[in-house]
């Protein structure tokens, strides 16, 4: 159940080009957040809360990690928060990634700032004894983050659009190298998700559309996406952000 809480900033660090990692402390969120869920943060001076997905959780230390891009005024202001400051948060929000008892191997496919929720998922899957593999796509070498963290979970392929690091091109260019897997889990920009779901149309997969969220509370309709069942659409912030790949029309 989501709650309105105060989270204490423990650290703020730039970990790649335009990419900030923030560690927040709160026992309830750390104890209850599921992979794929997000926080709704009230950044000072901004009326609308920002939806930001959870990248990692340390239940023992009661810590929650979020990653975000410093692109708009809200996220620039958030990046300026310092340790000891507090943030008004609502969470954990949304439905997270499902877990299948039959799954033995999972393939994680992430692009850019869509990668963070897959790390939290990969960690949980590994703890459950599931073999994890990951394909991570970035614009350039300067944008790459969490390579070692994913490599600690399992075999990891890094792809950059300009070829400045790892494989050149798009995540779909290396999918044929990843071998067998039972289910895939993907999060990233819409063109990437379209290409991934098309390429893997014969596999059971789950996608998180968290990048498409605006207000995060069902008010702005920025997140509406066509769906296969009645009433013909879903709101990412309320019905997602995670969907079965065949549930929505990308």
**Has 4 been labeled as part of a binding site?**
no
CB of 236 to ligand FES, least distance (A): 6
Q: Which is nearer to ligand FES, 80 or 219 (CB)?
A: 219
**Has 187 been labeled as part of a binding site?**
no
**DSSP-based three-state secondary structure for 161:** coil
Q: Which is nearer to ligand FES, 9 or 48 (CB)?
A: 48
Show the binding pattern over residues 188-217: x = contacts ligand FES (CB under 6 A), - = does not.
-------------------------xxxx-
In angstroms, the CA 247 to CA 63 distance is 33
CB of 241 to ligand FES, least distance (A): 10
Other Cβ atoms less than 10 A from the Cβ of 124: the count is: 18
Q: Which is nearer to ligand FES, 21 or 211 (CB)?
A: 211
In angstroms, the CA 197 to CA 194 distance is 5
CB of 211 to ligand FES, least distance (A): 11
CB environment 187-213: b (16+ within 10 A), e (fewer): bbeeebbebbbebbeeeebbbbbbbbb
Distances, alpha carbon 16 to alpha carbons 4, 19, 159, 191, 250, in Å: 30, 5, 15, 22, 29
The token duo for 182 is: 């039972």
Residue 72 within binding range of ligand FES, rule CB under 6 A: no
Show the binding pattern over residues 211-250: x = contacts ligand FES (CB under 6 A), - = does not.
--xxxx-xxxxxx-----------xxx-------------
**Has 50 been labeled as part of a binding site?**
yes
Burial of 137 (0-12, 13-18, 19+ CB in 10 A): buried
**Has 70 been labeled as part of a binding site?**
no
Q: Which residues pair with residue 54 across a beta bridge? A: 66
Q: Which is nearer to ligand FES, 145 or 243 (CB)?
A: 243
- Kindly write down the DSSP assignment for every residue of 64-99, as one continuous string: EEEEEE--SHHHHHHHT--TT-EEEEEEEESB----
CB of 237 to ligand FES, least distance (A): 3
**Has 53 been labeled as part of a binding site?**
yes
- Residues flagged as binding site: 50-53, 74-75, 215, 220, 223, 237
- Residues flagged as binding site for [2Fe-2S] cluster: 215, 220, 223, 237
List residues near ligand FES by CB under 6 A: 213-216, 218-223, 235-237
- Residues flagged as binding site for FAD: 50-53, 74-75
């Amino acid at each position: 159940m989501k709650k309105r809480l105060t989270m204490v900033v423990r650290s703020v660090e730039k970990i790649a080009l335009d990419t900030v990692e923030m560690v927040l402390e709160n026992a309830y969120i750390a104890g209850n957040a599921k992979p794929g869920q997000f926080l709704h943060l009230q950044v000072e001076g901004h009326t609308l809360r920002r939806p930001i997905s959870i990248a990692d959780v340390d239940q023992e230390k009661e810590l929650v990690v979020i990653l975000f891009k410093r692109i708009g005024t809200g996220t620039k202001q958030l990046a300026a928060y310092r340790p000891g400051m507090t943030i008004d948060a609502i969470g954990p929000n949304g439905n997270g990634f499902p877990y299948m008892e039959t799954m033995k191997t999972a393939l994680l496919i992430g692009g850019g700032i869509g990668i963070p929720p897959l790390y939290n998922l990969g960690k949980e899957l590994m703890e459950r004894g599931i073999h994890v593999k990951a394909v991570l796509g970035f614009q350039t070498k300067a944008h790459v983050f969490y390579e070692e963290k994913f490599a600690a979970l399992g075999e990891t392929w890094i792809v950059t659009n300009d070829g400045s690091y790892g494989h050149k091109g798009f995540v779909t260019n290396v999918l044929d190298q990843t071998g067998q897997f039972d289910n895939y889990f993907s999060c990233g920009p819409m063109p990437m998700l379209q290409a991934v779901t098309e390429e893997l149309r014969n596999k059971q997969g789950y996608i998180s559309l968290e990048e498409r969220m605006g207000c995060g509370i069902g008010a702005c309709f920025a997140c509406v996406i066509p769906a296969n069942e009645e009433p013909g659409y879903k709101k990412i912030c309320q019905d997602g952000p995670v969907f079965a790949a065949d549930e929505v029309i990308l």
